[in-house]
Structure 1
Amino acid sequence: MGTVALIIILFLSVFFISCSSSTRSEYEMKLLYEGWLVEHHKNYNDLFEKDKRYEIFKDNLKYIDEHNAGNHTYQLGLNLFADLTVDEYQNNDLGFNPLSKMNMTYKVSSRYMLDKGEELKLPNSVDWREKGAVTHVKNQGKCNSSWAFTTIATIESLNKIVTGELISLSEQELIDCYRKGCGRDDPVKAFEFIILNHGIDTAEDYPYRAVYSKCDLSKKKKKVVSINGYVLGPFNNENAMKGGGGKATCYWRC
């Protein structure tokens, strides 16, 4: 059964690449949908829900095809969220809470500013994947924990840049020991927790489960990677990121 499912998925993958929404028949889209259900282990409570998700799936597929037919630097494809509307995805799967930052006043931090007339020479772009500073793609599931993944990804990359070692760290420790539950939250507070905790454990030792569990104090004591502080820069300000006289707020022992 597993081999048959794999063959169907591979066939549909080739079929998807070679077709566009303007040439797909209803039968072809239905076949693609059924293969997608198998690939992502999707099960619905009733036929009404399945049909509803199919209509959303078709809309998303149309959007993907129209995008890929245009002149873009990137291509889109189907993933496990293909049966969700944009609103559903934003409400259910995004966990960052920006409200505490909306009215923040940024102070000048001279340590992160260039002297007048000084020019900082930077490359046009940097792909940190090529430098091995990005871990594999992770899946938060239905926990609204993107804030935790944001925090952990930042520290993982920073640790690689500073020490040369890329270590996958534990989002689950933040959920269990800092927030004590799934839901929206603020990465800044998660940074503060890691500082006060003197570090964070690895994902291998404290694996992600996408649900809240009681904080494992024995693992909470394992502080594999730590940080001393963090810096917040103004929103949408590339000049400040380069150190070119923008405003930034330095916290703790930056």
Structure 2
Amino acid sequence: MKVVVIGGTGLIGSKLVAKLNEHGHEAVPAAPNTGVNTLTGEGLAEVLTGASVVIDVSNSPSFEDDAVMEFFRTSTTNLLKAEANAGVTHHVALSVVGTERLQESGYFRAKQAQEALIKDSGIPFSIVHATQFFEFMKGIAEAATDGDTVRLAPVKIRPIFSDDVAAAVGRTAVGTPVGGVVEVAGPEEFQLDELIRKGLAAKKDPRQVVTDVHAPYFGAELQETTLVPGPDAHIAETRFADWLAQQR
């Protein structure tokens, strides 16, 4: 089966390409550095020739409100049109647990717009909602930093290893389109402020984490369960402490 992975040279995409090829599929990475640009449409028709499945794990280079909305609307519209022309029979997109609950954030409004385009496209689809990657904890800390202080809300979070996300997306892609959302999360539940505190301490980062119930998360105020999945989520295996140990 030919599977085209949009964003196939990034963190999740490169893992996906490797896993799918290991399982006997023809996985093709598609990104600007391989000559495929979903914003301009360059290379899309060529790379999608003969493809059965397209997996979109691309991300906007900018999280600024207008730029991220433009990225997801334009790239998704171009991609879905090219897929329809190529006869693709399964579109898979990676999104984020809690997207629909984070609409104060420009980034998550853009992800919601992406999902709406997919649902309205007429192409059989599956959307995988993952919780925040272990690797993204640094980005969460950076976004919440003011000087030497990291201000975070004491809400629940179930972070996940990127390898486990790639495995879940790959399983979904080679299966029957679900026509909806599947969720995947890590095996442990943490409090967001405590998790980042642990991560910074492990790296001997001197920043102080301050607990603030009103601290914004990429522009959105969080409720206790905003970032955690529902009861039917697939639970991955890799624990945060084991991942941290690997980093050392």
TM-score higher than 0.5 here? no
- Normalized per residue, which structure has more strand? 2
The TM-score, its normalising length taken from structure 2, stands at 0.27
The TM-score, its normalising length taken from structure 1, stands at 0.27
